[in-house]
């Protein structure tokens, strides 16, 4: 994966926490910062299409795990 260099400003307290975590984990501080950037990017991603969550029709009464699994299997076998 190719990477691009950038500069950011960070609180000294956050940088100290990153430095300590990197020391504990035995990895470069930059790796922790890259992980944080990736998490922030994914948390703010906008998907092109809506998620297709299954819906269930019923009486409103609680259902068992087995009933949910059976319905999910039934809908995915289409």
Closest CA to 35 of 48, 49, 54, 22: 22
Q: For the chain, how many structural domains are there in total? A: 1
> In this structure, is residue 30 part of a structural domain?
yes
CA distance linking residue 37 with residue 73, whole number of Å: 37
17 inside domain: yes
Instruction: List, for residues 41-52, the tens digit of each pLDDT value.
Output: 999 998 888 888
Q: Is residue 57 part of a domain?
A: no
Q: What is the pLDDT of residue 78?
A: 66
Residue at 2 is within a domain: no
> Residue by residue, what is the 3-state secondary structure of the chain?
CCCCCCCCCCCHHHHHHHHHHHHHHCCCHHHHHHHHHHHHHHHCCCCCCCCCCCCCCCCCCCCCHHHHHHHHHHHHCC
- Asked whether residue 3 is assigned to any structural domain, the reply reads no
Residue 6 covered by a domain: no
Model pTM score: 0.59
Q: What is the extent of the structural domain holding 35?
A: 12-44
Residue with tokens 């009464």: 61
The pLDDT-based confidence of 65 (bands split at 50, 70, 90) is very high
């Amino acid at each position: 994966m190719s990477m691009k260099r950038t500069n950011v400003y960070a609180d000294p307290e956050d940088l100290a926490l990153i430095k300590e975590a990197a020391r504990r984990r035995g990895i470069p501080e930059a790796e922790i910062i890259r992980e944080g950037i990736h998490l922030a990017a994914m948390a703010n991603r906008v998907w092109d299409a809506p998620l297709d969550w299954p819906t269930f029709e019923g009486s409103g009464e609680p259902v068992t795990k087995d009933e949910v699994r059976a319905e999910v299997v039934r809908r995915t076998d289409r």
